[in-house]
Structure 1
């Protein structure tokens, strides 16, 4: 599955209207915010579409996945939008992650806990906001809002330390830049280590660079730890490969189209996260050229001044050169 999909589920008193654009969407929020009610309404419609007051409008089939027989249920769900309520412990398992990445469904998961096995984006974590008035005849409209959006810096920042999520080409690029500027750069060798590093280095000016496309499971505790402190800045592009494409060092009309509306191109069964997709795009678009890209080892061409500066210029308000 790919593309944006709008879901409208309603009764005479209650209405949810929202749109999803990735294979993994997470709904957060305290009790009594409407999360479970949403799943209950989907379940009621699926189980008894002709005998329920619930109405459902969507261009894809919708299902609720739950219980100990989830794998058996999932085998019958294809090209569909699958809702999962909190309390289903299987969503925390590696088995669940391994299973759903082989499917062509989109998943909407209700969970107040982080899900480290799943590569979900910081931009696809939502709460439910209620607007309108409660009443016997008036609808109560529920809309989704992003909990974590792109961070906007109020002033330029120059870090003392740069940390990157992994040790691949992204780290190699920033490590080279930092050496030239006599800055310290360290790899975390995994997104879960970002929190532990920040917890031990609370008084340094740190720039965290991580793939926003898969950092969703870490963002909550990292944001709580830094608490809006100016000395820690999170820079979360979709991925390093996305950053390169955004810099337009690769001349490709198709890549430009992909960047404008990636959801129209990312096939969920092929790419479990947008990070993987942008890597594939960059490899394909640079194949056979002097900018031929490899994930594991950085092509030195990306350290040429013109290419390097074009990439760094995308990081507005961050001074690394």
Structure 2
């Protein structure tokens, strides 16, 4: 399944309207914000149809997954937008993650917990709010909003950069940091970033964390709270390092530009568990047999040649003041 899908769920009292574009969307938030009501309305429509007094407008079938037979039900669903409430314990199981990985469905999961078994994007974590769009009617209009701000601009040059892993992205940022007299360290994986930040005692340093936004979702709650509390920690969360390169003007390729404008139209959920994997494959394929041949595990030195390095850097400077 791929593409952006608009979903409208409504009755004479409530109106939910939102769009989803990835295989995993998370809806968080406190009680009494309408999350469970949304699930109930979709379930009622599935059971009673028009007799439920509920209307659903979507180009894909919306269904609710729940109960002890969830594995069998999921294996028989294709091209659906599947809604799941947090009361279903199976969303925390690795078996569920493995089935999502090979599924051609989209999943909208309502949960206040962080699901560490799933690689979901920081951009697809939402809350619900009543927007008041229909102020002259009795309908309550519910829309989604991003829980976390998508961009944090550094107001000053960072003293230290912490990069999620040790692959090509780290090598690039380490080289740039060395030129700018900035300390650059690897956390050794997204799950280790928080612990690394906790060990930093000096709160006078300006720290920038660079991680793949495409899969950092489960860690965002702790990281964002720490960044707000400490004030000296900023988060730069592009989709991935490969996305940075593809979004720059380094590769003059019309197809790449078209893909980057609307990646959701090209990324098949059954094939790519997270968007980061798609961008890696796209960059590897597009540079194969060229002087810019890309490998995720080790950075091609060509990317650090002055001209190439600066083209990529221009795409980063919108978020980090190097």
TM-score by length of 2: 0.94
Instruction: Output the aligned Cα RMSD.
Output: 1.8
Distance 1:97 1:31 in 2: 26
- Runs (4 or more) in structure 1 with deviation over 6 Å come to none
Cα contact 2:250–2:311 (8 A) shared by 1: yes
Distance 1:176 1:235 in 2: 17
- 1:265-308: CA deviation from partner (whole Å, max 9, x where unpaired): 11111111111111111111111100011111111111111111
Distance 1:200 1:167 in 2: 19
Is residue 265 from structure 1 mapped to residue 266 from structure 2 by the alignment? Answer: yes
- Unaligned stretches of 5+ in structure 1? none
Distance 2:269 2:238 in 1: 20
Moved more, 172-181 or 289-298: 172-181
> Where does residue 188 of structure 1 map in the other structure?
187
> Where does residue 278 of structure 2 map in the other structure?
277
- 1:128-165: CA deviation from partner (whole Å, max 9, x where unpaired): 11133999x7211111111123224273x212221111
Is residue 113 from structure 1 mapped to residue 113 from structure 2 by the alignment? Answer: yes
The number of residue pairs the alignment matches comes to 318
User: Following superposition of structure 1 onto structure 2, how do residues 169-208 of structure 1 map, counting pairs within 5 Å?
Assistant: 169-202=168-201, 203=203, 204-208=205-209
Distance 2:180 2:50 in 1: 67
Q: 1:3 to 1:243 in 2, by over 3 A?
A: same
Counterpart secondary structure, 1:166: coil
> Where does residue 247 of structure 1 map in the other structure?
248
> Where does residue 83 of structure 1 map in the other structure?
83
Cα contact 2:152–2:235 (8 A) shared by 1: no
Cα contact 1:169–1:297 (8 A) shared by 2: yes
Counterpart secondary structure, 2:51: coil
Distance 1:308 1:125 in 2: 32
Q: 1:272 to 1:152 in 2, by over 3 A?
A: same
Distance 1:138 1:149 in 2: 31
Distance 1:194 1:284 in 2: 30
- 1:42-70: CA deviation from partner (whole Å, max 9, x where unpaired): 11111221431111111101111112221
Distance 2:169 2:57 in 1: 42
Distance 2:87 2:291 in 1: 51
Using the TM superposition, give the Cα deviation of residue 181 of structure 1 relative to its aligned residue in structure 2, in angstroms. Answer: 3.2
Is residue 319 from structure 1 mapped to residue 318 from structure 2 by the alignment? Answer: no
> Where does residue 9 of structure 2 map in the other structure?
9
Distance 1:121 1:319 in 2: 24
Distance 1:4 1:240 in 2: 24
Cα contact 1:35–1:128 (8 A) shared by 2: yes
TM-score by length of 1: 0.94
Distance 2:179 2:139 in 1: 60
- 1:300-321: CA deviation from partner (whole Å, max 9, x where unpaired): 111111111111121225233x
Counterpart secondary structure, 1:314: helix
Counterpart secondary structure, 1:84: strand
Using the TM superposition, give the Cα deviation of residue 179 of structure 1 relative to its aligned residue in structure 2, in angstroms. Answer: 2.7
- 1:222-276: CA deviation from partner (whole Å, max 9, x where unpaired): 1111216442111111110000011121111000111111111111111111111
Distance 2:106 2:154 in 1: 36
